Amino acid sequence: MTVRARVLTHAGAPTVEAPLELVEPGGDLVRVRLTASGVCHSDLHVAAGEWAAPLPMVLGHEGAGIVEAVGPDVRTLRPGDHVALSWYAQCGHCRQCRRGRAWLCTGTRSIDHRLPDGRTSLRDADGADVHALLGLGTFAEATVVPEAAAVAVPADLPPGIAALIGCAVTTGVGAVLNTARVRSGDSAVVVGCGGVGQSILLGLALVGADPIIAIDLSDERLAHARTLGATHVLRGDDPDLAAHVAAITDGSADRTDGGADHAFEAIGRAETITMLPSLVGRGGQAVLVGMPADGVRASIDPFDLADAGKQVLGCNYGSSVPAVDFPRLARLYTAGHLPLDALVGAVRPLDEVDAAFADLREAVGLRTILDLTA
C-alpha cells in the first residue's frame, strides 16, 4: 500500500513529501488509517538533530485513526475500530511487563523505530528502509503498528483529542495520577507550560491540588495556564522563584515551612532540572517529566535531598499502561472532568508540519493538530 508522508531526510532540514510503501499487517500487526496527529517537542528534537535517530524517517508519534486491517494474530481489534496510538508498545513478556509496568518495558522495539520483528514499516520508491519515529510515524496517511500500540477508544471521541491522549495527555496527567500520586490539597508547581505542562495542570486541577503554581517564560502560556487551573503564575526568568514558591505554599504559623509538595519539570533543560528541588519543601517530590536532548547533564545538591527528605522521580510516559489509561482518560474527557479541548491550538494540514515546528521553536500558541483527513 502506498501512502503520502512527510519525510525527514537530514537533521535541521525541512521535511519533504514523498510516497512510501507501507508493509502489510501480518502477525499481530494492525494497519491504521490516520485521522489526526499532534506535533510534539520530541518530534522537533529529532528534526533538529538534538536526539540521534536513523534517517530518513517519518516523524510523528502522537496519533489517532481507524483500523483498516489486522493480522491473523490480532485479538483485541478489528477493522473499523477507532484507536489512539501508543509510542511505547510493550512486549508483554519482559520482567517489567510481567510486573505491570508497561512504561518500563525492556523488550519494546519502539525506541529502535522498528516493528517487533526488527523490520521498518516503510520503504521508499527504491525499496530502501524508511524509519517511523517510535514505530509510529504519524506524519502520514496511514501506519502499521503492533497490536500493543493501538488502543481502542470511543468512536465519538474527536480525533485530535484521541491523538493528544496518545502522548501529551497520558504523559502529563499520568505524571500527576500515577508517578507523583498527588492528593487533594497538595501544593504543586509546574515548570514549563507547553503541551505536557498544560496536561499536568489539568491533572492537578482534576485531583484538587492547591495551590497550583505555573512557571513559564511566555506570558501567553501563563495566561492560558490560569484557565487550566493554575492559581498562581510566575515568570521563569524571575531570580527569586524559590522564595516566591515558598511564600505561596507556606501554611505554617511561623512561615518556615514553605516549598511545594510536588514540582514537575516539563521542559527537559539542565537549568530547570537543577532548580527543581529548590521549589519543593521538606518531604517533597521533584518529578522529571520533560525529556532532555542527548548529552544534557544537571547538578543536584545531594545534601538538600538527604537532609530535607526530598525525592527526585523520573517519569516516562506518565508511568502509564496505555490499555488502561487511554480509555480512562477518554472517559474523563467525555464526562467533562478533563477539558482537553483547551489544549488544542492550530489545526493544520499535513503539508504544514514545518510551520508547526516553527511555532514550537518560538513557543507560539498551543498544541498543533494535523488534520490527516484534509
How many residues in the chain? 374
DSSP state of 176: I
Q: How far apart are CA 170 and CA 329, in angstroms?
A: 8
| pLDDT, tens digit (0-9, with 9 covering 90-100), for 198-238 | 999 999 999 999 999 999 999 999 999 999 999 999 999 99
Say yes or no: 180 and 118 in one domain: no
How many domains in the chain?
Answer: 2
Same domain, 68 and 207: no
Is 237 domain-assigned?
yes
**212 and 82 in one domain?**
no
333 lies in a domain?
no
Residues 158 and 174 in one domain: no
Same domain, yes or no, for 147 and 243? no
Domain of residue 159 covers 2-166+339-371
For 327-366, write each residue's pLDDT tens digit.
999 999 999 999 999 999 999 999 999 999 999 998 888 9
Q: Is the pLDDT of residue 20 over 80?
A: yes
Residue 70, in any domain of the structure: yes
**Do residues 146 and 205 share a domain?**
no
Is 48 part of any domain?
yes
Q: Same domain, yes or no, for 160 and 176?
A: no
Would the pTM count as exceeding 0.85?
A: yes
CATH number at residue 276: 3.40.50.720
pLDDT in the model for residue 251: 72
**Residue pair 135/115 in contact by the 8 Å Cβ criterion:** yes
**Assigned domain for 9 exists:** yes
**Is omega for the bond preceding 56 within 30 degrees of 0, making it cis?**
yes
The pLDDT-based confidence of 253 (bands split at 50, 70, 90) is: low
Residue 329 within any structural domain of the chain: no
Distance (Å, whole) CA 311 – CA 262? 10
- What CATH number is associated with residue 10? 3.90.180.10
Same domain, 266 and 360: no
